[in-house]
Amino acid sequence: MATVVLKNVIKRFGKAEVIHNVDLAIEDREFMVLVGPSGCGKSTILRMIAGLETISSGTITIGDQVVNDLAPKDRHIAMVFQNYALYPHMNVFENMSFGLRLKKTPPQEIEQRVRTAAEILGLTDLLHRKPFELSGGQRQRVAMGRAIVRNPSVFLFDEPLSNLDAKLRTQMRAEIKLLHQRVHATVIYVTHDQIEAMTLADRIVVLRDGRIEQVGKPLELFHHPVNTFVAGFIGSPPMNLVEGRLEIAESRIVFAGGVAFPVRIPKERVRAAIEDGQAVICGIRPEDMTLSGAQIGWRHAFDVQGQVQMVEPLGSETYVHVRIGDAVWVGRCEGRLAPHIGEEVTMAVNPDHLHVFDAASRGILFSTGQDR
């Protein structure tokens, strides 16, 4: 069983505590992605699992063994780095087999493992080449192949695609997902790119300042964020988040500039968690705001007026930045229906997918409508 469990893990550099009491359980064969902004601690956590950083307190367990005091080579893990870390004087076969040769693995077994990994990764015809003769995507495949041949219980990926261009990143994401399906190993993957996280992960860990904000399946985090940080980090473009005031009797949120959104407030939340006039933050995804009159199929949609501030055409769809009252909201429409900057428009809003957060704590108060 290649489960990985972190319990009360703390990391300090000198007196500065950078990882704060992290508790995390990663299941056998799960693809877990650690995501968050630069400096949130995701790479530090990965390096502690690998044994490249010591932990200040707590325990890390891989399988049934506490590995706090084990050297990296004894943890039965393999790590793929951002910068490939290939030996320039060795060809692909030699790079992939280097770790096995250090372990004095029999030559016949080395040959078999390398050939199998090369076939999985499409490297069979490149085994004789040196790294300088390879593209960035091919080098990253070699780095992955070097990990595969070790037959590890756990694969660790530290932002492996950040050096690739956009097209290659998309291609390599698909290859990494297929690789996971073929090798059936536990994968812990670090990235700052939430699109990578959404497309690759079985579950995602969202980190901020060395703390876990939320753990869940990709769509769970997208549709049910527990606070404004997760709401704003997951999704591209991110969720609109605008401050307002909740008026319970009128069932609405009033924003600066006199704009109001109707909102269905769950009765149990009125009794338990919210007050009339409470300062809140209203969140809505761009896909739940569009030009009025479009074929949207929203049963309870309402209209608001605004002026177009910016247009982002992406081909089949366009993101429209519209000033509504004193705030700018981002909506989405079909590419061929894109309005012009400065144009007065009517935006339809889907009230079935509003998220209402407490302005003080930034935590979720309630969401409207049904689950998606």
pLDDT digits (tens, 9 = 90+) for 245-283: 999 889 999 999 889 999 988 776 555 678 889 999 999
Per DSSP, 227 falls in state: B
Closest by CA position to 241, among listed 82, 354, 346: 354
The stretch 289-293 carries a mean pLDDT of 87
Burial of 212 (C-beta count, 10 Å sphere; 0-12/13-18/19+):
buried
What does the pLDDT read at residue 1?
61
Of 93-102, 266-275, 343-352, least confident by mean pLDDT is: 266-275
Residue 362: pLDDT band by 50, 70, 90 thresholds? very high
Q: What is the mean pLDDT of residues 294-313?
A: 86
Q: What is the pLDDT of residues 324-338, one digit of tens each?
A: 999 999 999 988 888
Residue 160 has pLDDT above 80, yes or no: yes
4-229 fold:
Rossmann fold (3.40.50)
Per-residue pLDDT, averaged over 153-182, amounts to 86
pLDDT at residue 106 in the model: 94
What pLDDT is recorded for position 53? 95
**pLDDT value for 292:** 85
Instruction: Write the pLDDT tens digit of every residue in 181-216.
Output: 888 889 999 998 888 999 999 999 999 999 999 999
Would you say the CATH fold of 237-367 matches that of 4-229? Answer: no
| Sheet with 317-324: strands ordered across | 289-291, 344-349, 302-313, 317-324, 327-334
CA atoms of 273 and 62, how far apart (whole Å) = 40
Check: CB of residue 323 under 8 Å from CB of residue 309. Answer: yes
pLDDT value, residue 268: 66
Q: Which carries the bigger pLDDT value, residue 58 or residue 102?
A: 58
**Three-class SS state of 61:** strand
Are 9 and 19 spatial neighbours (Cβ–Cβ below 8 Å)?
A: yes
Is residue 11 scored above 60 in pLDDT?
Answer: yes
Q: Which residue has the higher pLDDT, 84 or 303?
A: 303
Query: What percentage of the chain has pLDDT greater than the value 90?
Result: 67
**Residue 90 scores a pLDDT above 70:** yes
Quick check: 318 pLDDT over 90?
yes
Domain positions in the chain are: 4-229, 237-367
Residues linked to residue 208 through DSSP beta bridges, in sequence order: 211
**CB contact at 8 A, 285 and 353:** yes
Q: Please state the rounded mean pLDDT for residues 220-224.
A: 94
Of the pLDDT bands very low, low, confident and very high (cuts 50, 70, 90), residue 136 is confident
Contact 258, 354 (CB under 8 A): no
Q: Which CATH architecture has domain 237-367?
A: Beta Barrel (2.40)
pLDDT in tens, 54-85: 999 999 999 999 999 999 989 999 998 877 78
The pLDDT assigned to 168 comes to 81
pTM of the model: 0.90
Q: Is the pLDDT of residue 370 over 70?
A: no
Read off the pLDDT of each residue in 158-170 and give the average, rounded to a whole number: 84
27-41: average pLDDT? 95
Quote the pLDDT of residue 271: 56
**Mean of per-residue pLDDT scores for the chain:** 91
Q: Give which of 117, 160, 170 is closest to 140, Cα–Cα.
A: 160
What is the model's pLDDT at position 81? Answer: 84
Task: Return the minimum-mean-pLDDT range out of 8-22, 23-37, 130-144.
Answer: 130-144
